[in-house]
Amino acid sequence: MVNINEYQLVKDCLKQKPKAQRQLYELYAQNMLGVCYRYTKSTNDAEDILQDGFVKVFSRLKQYKHEGELGAWIRRIMVNTAINFLKRNRKYQDEMFFTEQTLHPVTDDDPAVILQTKQLADLIRQLPQGYQVVFNLFAIEGYSHVEIGQVLGISDSTSRSQYARARALLIRWINETSAKQKNENYAGK
């Protein structure tokens, strides 16, 4: 079900009303900046992606059919814009290599420590770029490995491998963080 205000906002944006465009931007910019930031290594790059993404949102708004949430539609544009940015930008291209190597199995055991969202986001951002992109697309955006393969131009098995490696690294880092916190708590007693 489409929110009447959202419907009117889109309609006004399509009529090129600056107030409506500004309102749409302000409504979604902060959340979408977070989406963009997950794929980059700098705030400046994330802001560039956000701006490019909103240019695309406004130019493609007539394609939005009011089926599903507007925010989800915008998010998909931002993710695609971020991926295209990474593919175009030399400093990210060098880190976006994918190998077909097999991995040691990763356990399904959950780490013993519960991290705050910001701590986990910081760990994800420390992943090598290729791992980070695949992890974000699969675990956060909900893409399938087949879709990831199509978007990144890799095989779905490479996507699975990159995800498994990212997950293994995150589990190791979380366990190390947990051990460090336990040692600090023990030393403080």
Over the stretch 29-82, which tens digit does the pLDDT of each residue have? Answer: 999 999 999 888 789 999 999 999 999 999 999 999 988 899 999 999 999 999
What CATH fold (topology level) applies to the domain 4-93?
Rna Polymerase Sigma Factor; Chain: A (1.10.1740)
**121-146: pLDDT as tens digits:** 888 888 998 899 999 999 989 999 99
Q: How many CA atoms lie within 13 A of 119 on its CB side?
A: 13
> According to CATH, what is the number of the domain 117-187?
1.10.10.10
Q: What is the 3-state secondary structure (H, E, C) of 64-89?
A: CCCCCCHHHHHHHHHHHHHHHHHHHC
Q: Where are the domains of the chain?
A: 4-93, 117-187
